[in-house]
């Protein structure tokens, strides 16, 4: 049997009609099932709490939002585990650039988070990308420098992230992985 010569190319309009959990990677639908397991979701919840607490303590005009769809363009929609948005919040899906994206690795998303999504976030110029590995308790901070991510592995207790010039937050790794 021969391979099809044309693969369908889906758009955000198509995406809005679908049932279930999906992402759209350059026109290709990606099923987001099964849902993440308990440890993964616990880390996402703790991260959201730790980041939002820091945002509020520093009186920043930002919000940590869990699993909000980010419409990158008409054929790419991703749903990061967590993102940070400053300024006006979207009524529906995010259609502007987040200041930080966080992905917690899981067996089903590891290759996408470390490959496709890393490249996408860098290409779209997301200033900060945190990758949390529940297995090793490593937190990798990728910071955009001259349009390229510079990686920093954090084993110290506090991880510092500059969201804006007047908003610097610290994430306590001990509280995250307790």
pTM, 2 dp: 0.90
110 occurs within a structural domain: yes
In a domain, 25, yes or no: no
In a domain, 12, yes or no: no
Average of per-residue pLDDT values in the chain: 92
Alpha carbon of residue 151 to chain centroid: 16
146, part of any domain: yes
Quick one: average pLDDT of 158-170?
93
State the pLDDT confidence band at 1, using cuts at 50, 70 and 90: low
Looking at the DSSP assignment, which residues form a beta bridge with residue 110? none
Which CATH number does the domain housing residue 89 bear? 3.90.1570.10
Residue 38, classified by CB atoms within 10 Å of its CB into exposed (0-12), middle (13-18) or buried (19+), is exposed
Residue 8 counted as domain residue: no
Tokens of 121: 């976030």
Residue 142 has what pLDDT? 96
147 falls within a domain: yes
Environment class of 5 (CB within 10 Å of its CB; exposed 0-12, middle 13-18, buried 19+): exposed
The CA angle 112-161-64, to the nearest 5 degrees, is 70
Tell me the pLDDT band of 123, cut-offs 50, 70 and 90: very high
Who has greater pLDDT, 157 or 92? 92
Q: What is the pLDDT of residue 117?
A: 96
pLDDT band for 32, please (50, 70, 90 cuts).
confident
In a domain, 155, yes or no: yes
Domain count, the chain: 1
Residue 13: inside a domain: no
Q: Which domain holds residue 142?
A: 34-176
Task: Please check the confidence at residue 121 and state whether its pLDDT lies above 70.
Answer: yes
- Quote the pLDDT of residue 154: 64
- The predicted model gives 36-44 an average pLDDT of 87
Q: What is the pLDDT of residue 4?
A: 59
On the question of pLDDT at 2 being above 70, the answer is no
What's the rounded mean pLDDT across residues 90-96? 92
39 — pLDDT class (breaks 50, 70, 90):
confident
């Amino acid at each position: 049997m021969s391979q099809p010569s044309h693969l369908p190319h889906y758009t955000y309009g198509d995406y809005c009609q679908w049932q279930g959990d999906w992402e759209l990677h350059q026109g290709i639908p990606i099923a987001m099932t099964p849902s993440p397991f308990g440890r993964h979701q616990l880390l996402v919840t703790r991260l959201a709490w730790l980041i939002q607490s820091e945002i509020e303590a520093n009186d920043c005009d930002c919000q940590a939002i869990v699993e909000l769809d980010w419409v990158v363009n008409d054929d790419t929609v991703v749903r990061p585990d967590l993102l940070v948005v400053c300024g006006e919040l979207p009524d529906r899906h995010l259609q502007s650039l987040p200041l930080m994206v966080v992905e917690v690795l899981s067996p089903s998303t590891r290759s996408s988070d470390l490959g496709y999504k890393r490249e996408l976030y860098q290409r779209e110029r997301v200033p900060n990308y945190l990758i949390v590995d529940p297995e090793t308790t490593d937190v990798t901070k990728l910071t955009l420098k001259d349009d390229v991510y510079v990686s920093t592995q954090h084993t110290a207790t506090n991880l510092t992230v500059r969201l804006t010039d007047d908003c610097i937050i610290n994430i306590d790794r001990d509280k995250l992985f307790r």
